[in-house]
């Protein structure tokens, strides 16, 4: 009998995952009145690190100073707690299906080093873009779309549109 070649990892049916994610977004809006987010926690960590390393500098910079308040750590933030939850939840799911392990995932055609360099530079771009657009795919696009926010739709279209436009140049990394 011919065995069908299959991916190693079996994930949820995407529609099922999407359905649960949609329910979670409704629940989040119902409880807190705001959507999900992810990059906000990274911003808080950066602000905290800079504030600890060079408090004078953080005070002078007009962007950090928005998030540094006297006597209140920028880490005491809804999004930071949510991010902690994301780490815990992903760990639970990964351990339930045995996906935990130190590894670098990359296409067999590229080296590990190249993958890491691209992951890093992609991260830098994402960090800058997420600040300019005031949110990433989850905060701006997904939660924005759930309340029909114009900005959310524009961000979503812009992210996916540009990614499709530039996909050709990065094809070696993935296929």
Partner 1 sequence: MGPLIPNDIISFEWSSIIAIIIGIFFGFILEASGFSSSRKLAGVFYGYDFAVLKVFFTAAIVSLIGLLYMDYLGYVDMSRLYVHPTYLWGAIIGGAIMGIGFVAGGFCPGTSLSAVAIGKIDAMVNVVGIMVGVFIFSELYPLFEPIYNGYFQGNITLVDSLGVNPFWFVFLLTIVAIIMFFATDLIRKRVKKVFY
Partner 2 sequence: MVNRKLVRFLSFRYIILASILIVLAGGLVLLPKYEKREGISPETLLSNVISPERYITTDELADRIINQDPSLLLIDVRDKNNFNKYSLPNAVNIPLKNVLDVDSEPYLNQDQYDVILFSNDNLYSDQAWVLCNRKGYKNLHVLKGGINTWFSTIINPKQPTEDMPSNAFKQYAFRKAASMYFGVAYPKKAQKQAVITKNTNTVSVPKKIVPKKKKKKMPVEGGC
Segment 60 to 79, residues that bind partner 1, using CB under 8 A: 61-64, 78-79
100: CB partners within 8 A, 6+ apart: 91, 94
The tokens describing 162, both together, are 């540009």
For the CB of residue 100, give the shortest distance to partner 2 in the complex, in Å.
27
Q: Which stretch binds partner 2 (CB under 8 A): 48-56, 96-104, 105-113, 129-137?
A: 129-137
Residue from 69, 75, 93, 111 touching partner 1 (CB under 8 A): that is 93
Contacted entry of partner 1, partner 2, none for residue 55, CB cut-off 5 to 8 Å set by kind? none
CA dist 83 and 139 (Å) reads 12
> Residue 11 burial by CB count (10 A; 0-12/13-18/19+): exposed, middle or buried?
exposed
Minimum gap (Å) between residue 52 Cβ and partner 1: 13
Asked if 51 interacts with partner 2 (CB under 8 A), we say no
d(CA 147, CA 144): 6
User: Torsion angle, CA of 25/40/34/73, rounded to 10 degrees?
Assistant: 130
Residues 57-96 that bind partner 2 (CB under 8 A): 66-67, 77-79
Report the site for partner 1 in 124-143 (rule: CB under 8 A). 124-143
Any contact of residue 55 with partner 1 (CB under 8 A)? no
Nearest distance, CB of residue 3 and partner 1, angstroms: 14
Distance separating alpha carbons of residues 110 and 132, to the nearest angstrom: 31
d(CA 36, CA 74): 18
Structure tokens at 150: 């114009």
Considering the rule CB under 8 A, would residue 157 count as an interface residue with partner 2? no
Q: Which residues bind partner 2 (CB under 8 A)?
A: 15, 33-35, 37-40, 43, 66-67, 77-79, 130-131, 134-136, 138-140, 143
């Amino acid at each position: 009998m011919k065995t069908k070649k299959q991916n190693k990892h079996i994930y949820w049916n995407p529609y099922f995952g999407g359905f649960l994610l949609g329910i979670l977004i409704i629940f989040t809006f119902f409880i807190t009145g705001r959507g999900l987010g992810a990059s906000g926690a990274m911003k808080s960590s950066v602000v905290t690190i800079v504030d600890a390393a060079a408090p004078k500098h953080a005070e002078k910079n007009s962007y950090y100073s928005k998030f540094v308040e006297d006597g209140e750590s920028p880490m005491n933030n809804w999004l930071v707690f949510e991010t902690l939850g994301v780490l815990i939840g992903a760990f639970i799911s990964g351990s339930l299906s045995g996906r935990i392990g130190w590894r670098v995932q990359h296409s067999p055609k590229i080296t590990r080093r190249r993958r890491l360099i691209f992951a890093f530079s992609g991260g830098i771009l994402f960090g800058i873009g997420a600040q300019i657009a005031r949110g990433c795919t989850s905060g701006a696009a997904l939660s924005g779309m759930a309340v029909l926010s114009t900005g959310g739709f524009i961000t979503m279209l812009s992210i996916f549109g540009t990614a499709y436009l530039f996909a050709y140049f990065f094809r070696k990394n993935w296929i």
